[in-house]
Amino acid sequence: MIIPGPSSPGKDIDVYLQPLIAELKELWETGMETYDADSNQTFQLRAALLWTISDFPAYAMLSGWSTKGRKACPTCNHGTCSQYLKHSRKMCYMGHRAFLPPDHPFRRDKKSFDGKEDHRSAPTPLSGTEVLEELREFNNVFGKGQKRKRRDSEGPWKKRSIFFELPYWEHNKLRHNLDVMHIEKNICDSLLGTLLDVTGKSKTM
């Protein structure tokens, strides 16, 4: 699959994914005649897409959940704990103690954190069925320059992902994976670019 142009397609990636989705639907519903060399027979081979693997920005393009702003965490979703830092003009994401065991000493530690104890339970990721319910009346608008009015009820959603056209996608427990090696490389590039003040690579204001 080739996406023309040097810039990211953003949510318009669904336009380029249409041929892939059509083939995946065919592989699931009809399958493809395949030869088994061991039994010397043919059979209908069926296939399913388990999940996608991408870096964090591409996660937003594929899933439809915005990875920017106050609710940027797809796992915490609507329970994302965030704070805007006005001097650096960046969002800061806190609340990680919610993922610790209930009796962990860090949960009671006020001095090292924000002056408060944290006894919240870990957020529950949205299931495919819950995502579809939230996006039931969501109207996708594709194309550069095309603007759509966003309603508060839509939250961080930017689109209804084309992957939900696959009949089994709603029931996949894990739909999107993060490529750890890719992310580590990006972070390393940003750190070195900032420390060495490399033009175009530095993250300083």
pLDDT of 105-134, one tens digit each? 999 999 988 888 999 999 999 999 999 999
- Positions in the chain whose pLDDT score sits under 70: 1-5, 144-154, 203-205
Domain boundaries, the chain: 8-68+125-139+153-205, 81-122
Q: Helices (DSSP H) in the chain: which residue ranges? A: 13-29, 56-63, 128-134, 180-195
The tokens describing 131, both together, are: 């995502």
Residue 176 near residue 63, CB atoms below 8 Å: yes
Return the pLDDT at 162.
95
Q: Which amino acid is at 168?
A: Y
Return the pLDDT at 160.
94
Q: Which secondary-structure segment (H or E) carries 35?
A: strand 32-36
Return the pLDDT at 193.
87
